[in-house]
Structure 1
C-alpha cells in the first residue's frame, strides 16, 4: 500500500494591487476551474493529498465586488474554491503566510471557516499539524511563516529561524508517521536558498521532518537531501498574477511516494494566469536552472520589471490603480 502526496507552489486566486480589476478575479469570474488545464488537473488528481500554500483570504463574491482597492487586494472570491474542489484529491492548504493574514484576524478566521466548510483541510493556524491517515500511514502536516509581517495580528502560526523547533513543541514521532512542514521563508526573487534556510533545514531534519516544503520567494529554488529528509527550498508560484517575468510564471510541483520517499519534480508553466502544463525535471536539471537564473540584483530587477508591466499595459489601468501609485510616488 502506498500514499502519494503532491505539493505545488503559491496559490493566490485574488488580485494584487497591480492587477486590481484586470487580473484573475476579473478574467475568471464564473470559470475558476479553467485556471488549470485538464491535463494538469488529471495529474494533480492522482495524489492522495495535495498540499498548497494559500496566499489570499476569502470573501463572498458580492462583498468582494464592493471592496475598495486597499481592502480587495489578495482577497479571492468564495467561488474560486471551485478550482480546488475540481481536483480529485484531498486538498490541504497552509495559511501561514503574510498575504493570508494581511486583512486582519476577523478576515482570516472567516476564511478558514469557508475553506473547511468546503472540505479543504487547513494547516498553519497554529503549531499543531493537520493529520491524514491513509493506507497505514499517518501524515502530519505543519504550516509556519518565518517572514516579517507588519500586519501580523496572530491569525496564523508565525515563528523565527532561531525559535521554530522550540515553538513546534513536537511530540515523539510514531513508527508510521510522515512529518511534512510547509514553511514560508527565504528571500523574494532569489533562485538560491540562503544560509539560514540551509541551517534550519538541517535542524528540521534532525527533529524528524521527512519533507520540508518551502515557499515565499515567488521563484523556484533547488531540491536537496539532508539525511533521509527531502528539502525543496522554494516551490515558486503555481497560480499567481505576477506576469511581469518568466521566472514568476514558473513553479515547482513535487510528487512524493510513500513508502520509499521517491520524489519526482515538475516545472509548472503559467500563461495568461492559467497553468498550462507540467514538465518533469531531474534534481540536477533543477539545480542548473536555478543557477542560470540567479543574480545578486535579481530582487531590484524584478521590481523594475513589475513597474514596466504597468507601463506596457497602460491601456488596461483603471483609476484605483493610477491613484494608488500616484499617492505612493508623492509619499516618497
Structure 2
C-alpha cells in the first residue's frame, strides 16, 4: 500500500516572498504539515519560477530558493503550468537547479524524451504524468525545453501506455481549467474525460484558483481543481484548497479522502475552523453532485459560469473591504475600475466553447489577481 498526497498551486513569490524576506515565518503551519507525516509521496504545482530576476509586473511570479526550505514535506513539483516561462529559458534553468540542489523532484520540462515521475514504494509502482493546456508566454524557438500540452494526445497517450503496460498505477496531474470557476468548461471537461480511455488510473487538475469537485468517468476518478494551497489571492474564495489523499493498494485505488486547508491573512497555510471546513466540503459536494446529475451540461455551465464570476467578484470585494477598510477599499476599487469592468464583461461572454483559458494568457488575466496593492 502507498499513500500519495496531492495539493494544488504553490506560489512562493509576490506578497509571500515580500513578507518572508522582511521576516522569515512558518509559511505552512505544523498542523498542516502533520497531514503529510504518513504520506509516502507529496506532489504540488509550482506556480512561481525560482529565479534571481525580478519584474515590476505582478503577474510574473518570481520566488527565492530559500522559501523552498519551508515546504520540504513536498517530494515533487509539477512545472507544467502557465507561469513556468515567466522568465524565459534562464528562469527555467534556475528553477530546475534550485529544486535539484534541495532534493526536490520535478516534472513537466524536458529536452528530449518525456518521462513521468516514477515512485516505487511498498511493492507499488506509481507513474505521475504532468501537462498544461496553455502558457502565458509561448516558448520561443531558442528554448530547448518542451512541455506536454493536454492536446498533445499522441505524446501523452504513448507515455501513459508504456508505463501502464509495465504495471504502473498512472496519475495525470493536469494544469487546466477556467479561472475562478469551480466547474470545468464543457470542452475542457470533454478533453479530460477522453483521457480516461488512455489507460490512466486517476486524473487531478489545478489552475482555476478555487476548489472544484469530483466525478467518475469510465470508472476513472477525476478531481477537478484542488485550489491554491499557498497563494496571496485577493479573495477568501481563492484562499481555500484541499489536500487529496490517494490510497493505492495492489495497483488499484483503494480509497481517497480530501482535507480542506486555507491560507490565512498572515499568508500562512492553516487548518480551517469547523464552519470553514464544512463550507469547503459542502462546495466540493455541490460541484460533484452537479457533475454527476446534470443532463444538459452545456446549458448548465453557461448559466453557472455567470454565477461563479459574480461569486468571485463579491468574494474579492468583501476581502478588500475586510483587509483594507472602507477608505482602502475605495482607493483600490478606483485604481482597478477597469479590472472590475473586465470581470463583469465575462458575464456577457460564452465560455462554454473555449478550448483553453484565454483569460490566463498575457495581459488578459490582470483583473483582480493583484488587487491587494
Q: 2:260 pairs with 263, 267, 280, which one?
A: 267
Q: Does 1:95 align with 2:86?
A: no
Q: Does 1:128 align with 2:115?
A: yes
C-alpha distance in structure 2 between counterparts of 1:208 and 1:197, whole Å: 19
DSSP-derived class of the 2:43 partner: strand
C-alpha distance in structure 1 between counterparts of 2:262 and 2:43, whole Å: 18
Q: Does 1:56 align with 2:48?
A: yes
Q: What residue number does 1:277 align with?
A: 271
Q: 1:191 pairs with 182, 204, 211, which one?
A: 182
CA contact (8 A) 1:14 1:73 kept: no
Residues 102/327 of structure 1: CA separation in 2 closer, same or farther (3 Å cut): farther
C-alpha distance in structure 2 between counterparts of 1:149 and 1:72, whole Å: 10
Superposition RMSD in Å: 3.5
Q: What residue number does 1:18 align with?
A: none
Displacement of 1:59 in angstroms is: 2.4
Q: Does 1:286 align with 2:279?
A: no
Displacement of 1:112 in angstroms is: 1.1
Displacement of 1:283 in angstroms is: 7.7
Displacement of 1:300 in angstroms is: 6.6
C-alpha distance in structure 2 between counterparts of 1:178 and 1:110, whole Å: 31
Displacement of 1:276 in angstroms is: 1.0
Higher helix proportion (structure 1 or 2): 2
Q: What residue number does 2:216 align with?
A: 225
Structure 2, gaps ≥5 residues long? 291-303, 342-362, 365-373
Residues 299/158 of structure 1: CA separation in 2 closer, same or farther (3 Å cut): farther
Displacement of 1:101 in angstroms is: 1.6
Displacement of 1:210 in angstroms is: 1.3
Q: What residue number does 1:150 align with?
A: 137
C-alpha distance in structure 1 between counterparts of 2:49 and 2:84, whole Å: 5
Residues 159/69 of structure 1: CA separation in 2 closer, same or farther (3 Å cut): same
Q: Does 1:167 align with 2:151?
A: no
Displacement of 1:28 in angstroms is: 2.1
Q: What residue number does 1:74 align with?
A: 61
Q: What residue number does 2:102 align with?
A: 118
C-alpha distance in structure 2 between counterparts of 1:71 and 1:186, whole Å: 22
C-alpha distance in structure 2 between counterparts of 1:280 and 1:313, whole Å: 27
TM-score by length of structure 2 reads 0.71
Q: How many residues align?
A: 307
Which digits, 9 at most, give the CA deviation of each residue in 1:77-122, with x for residues without a partner? 110100122x2xx611101111122111111121112111211110
Displacement of 1:313 in angstroms is: 3.6
Which digits, 9 at most, give the CA deviation of each residue in 1:228-255, with x for residues without a partner? 422111111110010x222101012100
Displacement of 1:13 in angstroms is: 0.6
Displacement of 1:207 in angstroms is: 0.7
CA contact (8 A) 1:3 1:48 kept: yes
Which digits, 9 at most, give the CA deviation of each residue in 1:22-75, with x for residues without a partner? x21122238666111111101123211101010001124xxx6xx342389411
